[in-house]
Amino acid sequence: MSVVKDRKNRKAWRIVRSLLLTTASLIMMAWIFSNSLQVGNQSAEQSSRVTIWVQKVFRVFAPNGFVANATGKDFAKLHDVIRSLAHFAEFGLLGALFGWTCLSYTGKVGYFLFTALLIVLVPIADELLQMYTPGRGAELKDVLIDTAGGLSGMLFAWLTVWIGKSIARKKKRKKEKE
């Protein structure tokens, strides 16, 4: 009886986990697309605020450094780097969520091609969306950065699952020996 109950609990948890991960993935995609719908001035203002915040943090830890004191053309370069890092990070999170979501449904890494395809298509759709947003444009560089971030996130997700499964297998073998 307890084995059947344990199986039902595991199955119920798997369904809940899959639904939560799917929801988180969809929310992340919606957030990315909503950022792409910001007109050019809004987007530039938002990323400038982030750049200024980063400068404030660097003024605390490295007050004499380039980042803390960048102005003019140097600020513009810093702004571009921070935007690129933000693209990489947000798509990295999306890639991790996609990876965990895929694994929660299938339990098999073999479905990575489907996940990788999604990770390539979302940045393309994102840049196409920006083509039709006033003051914005599509850039191949952004597609490549977004895709690299997404694939890195996917690999991170699969690595965490592999490590978790390896630990669980070791614990199970150890318990069986006792």
Tell me the per-residue pLDDT of 39-66, one tens digit each, with 9 for 90 and over: 989 998 999 999 999 999 999 999 999 9
The tokens for 123 are 């940045």
User: What DSSP assignment string belongs to 145-158?
Assistant: HHHHHHHHHHHHHH
At 3, the pLDDT band (50, 70, 90 cuts) reads: low
Q: What is the pLDDT of residue 111?
A: 75
Grouping H, G, I as helix, E, B as strand and the rest as coil, residue 40 is helix
pTM: 0.87
The tokens for 42 are 């809004």
Tell me the per-residue pLDDT of 120-178, one tens digit each, with 9 for 90 and over: 999 999 999 999 999 898 999 999 999 999 999 999 999 999 999 899 888 888 888 87
The tokens for 46 are 């938002």
Give the CA radius of gyration of the chain.
Answer: 21
Q: What is the pLDDT of residue 5?
A: 63
State how far the Cα of 135 lies from the Cα of 142, in Å rounded to an integer: 16
The tokens for 116 are 């990788």
How far are the Cα atoms of 29, 38, 60 from residue 78, in angstroms, in the given order? 26, 21, 17
Higher pLDDT, 129 or 113: 129
Map out the domains of the chain as residue ranges: 2-39+86-177
Grouping H, G, I as helix, E, B as strand and the rest as coil, residue 164 is helix
Which residue, among 37, 17, 55, has the nearest Cα to 128 in the 3D structure? 37
Which residue, among 170, 103, 155, 94, has the nearest Cα to 125 in the 3D structure? 94
Sequence-distant (6+) residues with CB within 8 A of 24 are: 97, 101
- Checking if the pLDDT of 79 tops 50, the result is yes
